[in-house]
A and B are shown apart, each in its own frame.
Chain A
Amino acid sequence: MTAETLTLGKAMNAGLRKAMEKDPKVLVMGEDVGKLGGVFRVTDGLQKDFGEERVIDTPLAESGIIGTAIGLALRGYRPVCEIQFDGFVFPAADQIITQLAKMRMRSLGAVSLPVVIRIPCGGGIGAVEHHSESPEAYFTHTAGLRVVACSNPVDAFSMIQQSIASPDPVVFFEPKRRYWERADVDVDGTDWTPLHDAKVVRAGEHVTVLAYGPSVKTCLEAAEAAAGEGRSIEVIDLRSLNPLDIGTVVESVERTGRCVVVHEAPVFGGFGAELAARITERCFYRLEAPVLRVGGFSTPYPPSRVEDQYLPDLDRILDAVDRTFAW
């Protein structure tokens, strides 16, 4: 094992590098991914080492990026596209939803489109509008796409490589406010948790808290705080939203009988609604309280000086936990 202490951003970089070394068909493309190394430096140094043919600074056009990635994939390449910020994926929505997601089925399985779309997501960095969104539900709602969200450097390193290896298109969410979180990453290892498996990241007995991406850390902090008050929270990092590892979730909720779902996206029509419904279907007789959801409000993402009120924080998570016990 070669453990290196890496930030999440650097772990992404290391994972991309491994994938590019392993397979010459892997390309990186997007706005400012070349010389600049991306606005978060995730692709730092890749163009220098792999050349402009494989690390492509594209024209400023998201539909163009995804549309041409589809063409490159048709020609045997494995493009890894960077969308600079969550709020800028929408110009590419048509290519993703009407084309990328459906090509395999339309071709009766003849066509594979191994395209990865990396999207830094979520708020909490004091940014202006369109730079703090959580658009995952638009994509989990689109059959034909795989949707994953990493929460820490170890998963960032492995999941990006697994996503690139996937024969299906993968929308890959990166928790932008966690880019600077550090962990020891085994940069030679390949003995990874399967891409679509959830992970129990903290074992507990009294209540299950489900999260993904940037919210995982907040939930772990909440669990720590609750432990001080004698309440044992189990935290599951879903990692994969579509497909969803419902088995791991059900196993946990059957034990705890209570569940709180946390995400930054608005609660209404959000991914948590799917979780709540599914858990209710599978665990109905074991539930001591309804599945509660903590997330963004039914409003546009607010200006940054008030975003801390919008984002689920420790207090709001623990408040929901309390409410499941008060039921």
Chain B
Amino acid sequence: MLNVQEADVFYGDFHVIHRASLEVNQGELVALIGANGHGKSTLLKAICGLVPFQHGDIYYKGESIKAKDTTKLVGDGLVYVAEDRRLFPDMTVQENLMLGAYLERGRRRQFETLEHVYTLYPRLQERRSQLARTLSGGETQMLALGRGLMSAPELIAIDEPSLGLAPNLVANMLNTIKSFKDEGLTVLLVEQSLFLIESFVDKIYLLEEGVVSLYDDADVTKK
């Protein structure tokens, strides 16, 4: 479904990602892990069309996405949930969610999806007329994921959903993400460590100083 082939990403002269290759098949939950500052977010943004890549190519559903911008990709079901959430602070929870369904793709089933998001996160329903800026860290992350779901993704790329969450909320958050897979979504999940996720991911890539490598079970047990 997603195929990254030898992609290079630069910020100006700063070479962040070196010949990265990775593959995510339909229905899989794939993790990309690595320590802070090694380029995980950068690679994810390149996949989602938010930063350009230089060498190599990225294929989504068999098509090169080199010439496509984020807007087109969202319309094609490739949805990105940012590490820094990127909500609309002066809009209500519900307005934020409805904006997730801005494109035709999400709008077609917006009310069913909204219902689904509220079932998943009753907390968001309670706070639906509150401004996004007034939410707590955990609620903010729920809203970011909920907004992503409103776009009716086929592949959802989630950047460090556990970042900044209280420890008791992390397991909950990761369980919800596991449930996305059970519902048939393809997931590319970025995290700093395998903590709590290694039991349910299908494949693990490790990103070290901009270099991607497949992480096998042997390595997992070693660490």
- The answer on A and B forming one complex is no
Q: Which residues of B contact A (CB under 8 A)?
A: none
